[in-house]
Each structure stands twice: as C-alpha cells, then as structure tokens.
Amino acid sequence: MGNSPFTPGLAAGRLPAKDLATNFGDLHPPLEHHEAVVAADRCYFCHDAPCMEACPTSIDIPLFIRQIATGTPEAAAKTIFDQNILGGMCARVCPTETLCEEVCVRETAEGKPVEIGRLQRYATDTLMAASWHPFTRAEPTGKTVAVVGAGPAGLACAHRLAMKGHDVVVFDARAKAGGLNEYGIASYKSVDSFAQKEVDWLLQIGGITVETGKALGDGLSLDGLKADYDAVFLGIGLSGVNSLRAEGEDTGNVADAVDFIAELRQAGDLSALKIGRNVVVIGGGMTAVDAAVQSKLLGAENVTMVYRRGQDRMSASEYEQELAASKGVRIVTHAMPKAVIGNGAVREVEFEYTKDGPNGLEPTGETFRLPADQLFRAIGQRLEGAPDGLTLDGGKIAVTGAGRTSLGGVWAGGDCASGGDDLTVTAVAEGRDAAEDIHAALSA
C-alpha cells in the first residue's frame, strides 16, 4: 500500500501525482483576453493615481491598463517593463493587496480593487510569449561593471546598465540565476519554470554575461572586482538564517524553511519529496506561510504555524494568512519555542505562551507541546558573507541615496542593503536605481 497523509514520520508520495499537480498549479490562473478587457474597464484612469504612488517601481498603472483596454497589451507591457524589467515575476508575487490594490480607489469605495496584478501579468505574458525584447542597447561605452548576485536586484541592475551600453558580468554563487525567484518563491506563484524563462528573456538585451557557481568570498574578492571593473554592484540577498535558540534545535528533521522551499522548487518529481505527517513551522512571515502551505499541499496531515506575537504583528499579509488557513494550516499565536524533543529525530516541540508587556514580549510560564516529525525554522534571514571594509547598518550593507555604499565604486541593493522591505519589487527598484546612479558616475 502507498503512503497517505496518515503515514507516520517522514514519507514521500503522500498524495497521488494528479493531486500534487493540481495542488501546485497556478495560484491565480492568467486572465483570458475578454476577462482582461472587462477587468481593465473597471479602472477610472485616475489622475495622481494612488496605485502608482504605492508601487515601489512607480509603474504608470493607469496608462498600462488603458493600453490593455484599447487592445494594445504589448504597449502595456512596454510601459511596465520601462519601470520594472521583472514585471512578469512581480505580477505573480507582489503582495498587491498591501501595495497598489490596497489603495486603488475602487477598493476604497467598493471593497473590490481593479485587478492590477493580474492585468500586469496579462500584458507581460502577452509580450513575452511573442519572444520579443522591447529594449535595445545604447552605443558601447567601453565601461565594465561587475554585479554580484543574480537575484531580482542584480538582474534589474544588470539590464539597466546593459541598456546604457555598459558591459556587465553577473556572478552568482548558485548553479542557476534568478535568486529567490528561482529558489524561494512558492511553487504555485511561479509555475512552468517561469523564473528561468524570465532570466533568458531579460538577457536578450545583450551585453550581460552570467557566471554561475562563482561566489564572492570564495574565489572572488571585492578588491579584485574593484580592480578589474569600473564599478561593482552587490545584490547578494540574505543567505543566513536566524536560529530558534531553543534547546535541542540540532535534533534530526529540524531544518530551515528556505532550504525546504529551495529543495521543493528544484524537485523534478514532487512525489519523491519526503514530508512529515505532523509539520510545525515557526515564524510569522511570508517564508513561514510558504513552507506551511507547501507542506500541506505535499500531503502532511497536520501543519501548524507558531508565531511568538499576536496575529496583527505577523509580517505575512492578511491575504497570505487567509491562504494558509484556506489550505488547512493551523495558526497558533503568542507562543515561542522552548525545546525540541526527540531521540535522534524531532517528536514534539515544547512552546511557552507569551503576552505583550510594558517592556515587550513576556513569557507567561504556561507551556504546551505539539507533536512534530518535521520542524521548519522561518524566523528571518540575515546577511552573511558581506565583504570586509563595508559599513553595515542594522546588520545590512549601509547605503545612501541610490545604493551607494561606504566604499567608492561599490553600490548595493535589494535585501542585502539597508532600508527597503525585503520584497521582490523593492529589490528590482533598488537595482534599477543603483544602475542609473552607476551610469551617472561612469559618465561624469
């Protein structure tokens, strides 16, 4: 007999292949042409549009929606890509419910925003399906730039620099380019290898060489890059993971949620991936939700997310929390891990309830245990491997203006840089703006 959600311990193939295919299908199926026109017709094409203000990449949203309404989705896509070259991925992963759609006047008036994200996907998918790259390079400048990190920040920076006529080499430690678009974003947000297709499409600009398997600090040095290139951009993300600081954390089957998600994203066959019957995820952000939801979709019987503060403090949006609940994930708040219990492999996790006190979170002394045969840590990522000599601010690379670091000739952006809010779209905006600043510096 095969495995099922009730099989004890870790097991692969808890669900039939066809259920896995359904579970990991597109979360928001793309709009058909007529649906896109109907959705676009709901836009008031506001002057001083609040949606545009709320977009970290400042896409001219009313303009691109009007272009869809008038039957020119390729022009709409060009409007989007002018500001955000990863507009295809952002259409899939942006928490629009807390950005453009939250402030849409139709949301304010009627509680139902214009579906900006889905319209953006309709436009960008249309153009990308035509395999057309709507940008060309300026005359070669003879300048070279090294970009470290091929995530959204690095790719956006590289594309803008290539457009300006500079020659760019992008180095990445991993085997594939894309950063968390390839290794982090939940599978059901980016199906059909979209991340790699988008990288290939972006590179059509020309002038960008990608060298994977090359890590700064392991063969590459910042001094070396500074000597060999006219400028350096660092978009190395946050590769460290915070620990729980709970007793027994090194017990078997305790893992970082980001590693589990990366393994899942790279798995050729989801039915070969082992998952626990009782899975516990510790954390309250997007990573915790993604790990919990995907555990459930793989067939875990019980998945519980535990967060130390109240639900209103969770960094996962209300929409993400509802998504988790709708997939059967239980969310426990005001509890922090005390001990991981098990002989060789986790069997239970002990928690202590917390309460908000005048000086912050306080333990209450009241404890409880949850059965667990798999435990995922999702309590935040941190910068690891920042080159020596750079000033840090709050554990990230300190930047001023458009990504200028404390070292001349070195810029940084995306998750690894100070400020920002650890979103794909913000990383794109920072990479793009740093490229403009690098271009200005190289042209001076």
Ligand X SMILES: Cc1cc2nc3c(=O)[nH]c(=O)nc-3n(C[C@H](O)[C@H](O)[C@H](O)COP(=O)(O)OP(=O)(O)OC[C@H]3O[C@@H](n4cnc5c(N)ncnc54)[C@H](O)[C@@H]3O)c2cc1C
Residues that bind ligand SF4 (CB under 6 A): 43-46, 49-51, 61-62, 65, 104-106, 114, 116
Q: How far is the CB of 79 from ligand SF4 (least distance, A)?
A: 13
β-pairing, 219-220 with 215-216? parallel
Residue 157 binding partner per list ligand SF4, ligand X, none, with a CB distance cut-off of 5 to 8 Å that depends on partner kind = none
> Which residues of the chain form contacts with ligand X (CB under 6 A)?
93-94, 148-154, 171-174, 179-180, 184-185, 189, 215-217, 235-237, 239, 258, 261, 286-287, 290, 385, 414-416, 422-425, 427
Q: How far is the CB of 444 from ligand X (least distance, A)?
A: 27
DSSP per position, 163-175: HTT-EEEEEESSS
Query: Rounded to an integer, what distance in angstroms lies between the CA atom of residue 377 and that of residue 315?
Result: 15
Nearer to ligand SF4, 119 or 220 (CB): 119
Nearer to ligand X, 370 or 427 (CB): 427
Q: How far is the CB of 10 from ligand SF4 (least distance, A)?
A: 46
Q: How far is the CB of 196 from ligand X (least distance, A)?
A: 13
Nearer to ligand SF4, 108 or 209 (CB): 108
Query: Rounded to an integer, what distance in angstroms lies between the CA atom of residue 131 and that of residue 133?
Result: 7
Query: Rounded to an integer, what distance in angstroms lies between the CA atom of residue 163 and that of residue 85?
Result: 11
Strands (E), 252-328: 254-256, 275-276, 278-282, 302-306
Is residue 350 classed exposed, middle or buried when 0-12, 13-18 and 19+ CB atoms within 10 A define those classes?
A: middle
Residues linked to residue 400 through DSSP beta bridges, in sequence order: 404
Structure tokens at 242: 């915070």
Q: How far is the CB of 212 from ligand X (least distance, A)?
A: 9
Coil, strand or helix: which one is 261? helix
Structure tokens at 4: 């099922």
Residue 44 binding partner per list ligand SF4, ligand X, none, with a CB distance cut-off of 5 to 8 Å that depends on partner kind = ligand SF4
Nearer to ligand X, 290 or 352 (CB): 290
Q: Are 368 and 275 in contact (CB under 8 A)?
A: no
Residue 116 binding partner per list ligand SF4, ligand X, none, with a CB distance cut-off of 5 to 8 Å that depends on partner kind = ligand SF4
Nearer to ligand X, 43 or 216 (CB): 216
Expressed in angstroms, the distance from the first to the final Cα of the chain is 71
Alpha carbon 92 to its chain's center: 10
β-pairing, 410-412 with 219-220? unpaired
Residue 158 binding partner per list ligand SF4, ligand X, none, with a CB distance cut-off of 5 to 8 Å that depends on partner kind = none
Q: How far is the CB of 315 from ligand SF4 (least distance, A)?
A: 25
Nearer to ligand X, 119 or 423 (CB): 423
Q: How far is the CB of 75 from ligand SF4 (least distance, A)?
A: 17
Nearer to ligand X, 170 or 339 (CB): 170
Residue 105 binding partner per list ligand X, ligand SF4, none, with a CB distance cut-off of 5 to 8 Å that depends on partner kind = ligand SF4
**Amino acid at the residue 396:** K
Residue 261 binding partner per list ligand SF4, ligand X, none, with a CB distance cut-off of 5 to 8 Å that depends on partner kind = ligand X
Residue 43 binding partner per list ligand X, ligand SF4, none, with a CB distance cut-off of 5 to 8 Å that depends on partner kind = ligand SF4
Q: How far is the CB of 37 from ligand X (least distance, A)?
A: 27
Taking every pair of Cα atoms in the chain, the longest distance, rounded to a whole number of angstroms, is 71
Nearer to ligand X, 160 or 174 (CB): 174
Q: Which of 306, 278, 254, 295 lies closest to 371, judged by CA? A: 278
Nearer to ligand X, 75 or 262 (CB): 262
DSSP per position, 41-76: HT----TT-HHHHH-TT---HHHHHHHHHTT-HHHH
Is residue 266 classed exposed, middle or buried when 0-12, 13-18 and 19+ CB atoms within 10 A define those classes?
A: exposed
Q: How far is the CB of 234 from ligand SF4 (least distance, A)?
A: 34
Residue 123 binding partner per list ligand X, ligand SF4, none, with a CB distance cut-off of 5 to 8 Å that depends on partner kind = none
Q: Are 308 and 374 in contact (CB under 8 A)?
A: no
Residue 45 binding partner per list ligand SF4, ligand X, none, with a CB distance cut-off of 5 to 8 Å that depends on partner kind = ligand SF4
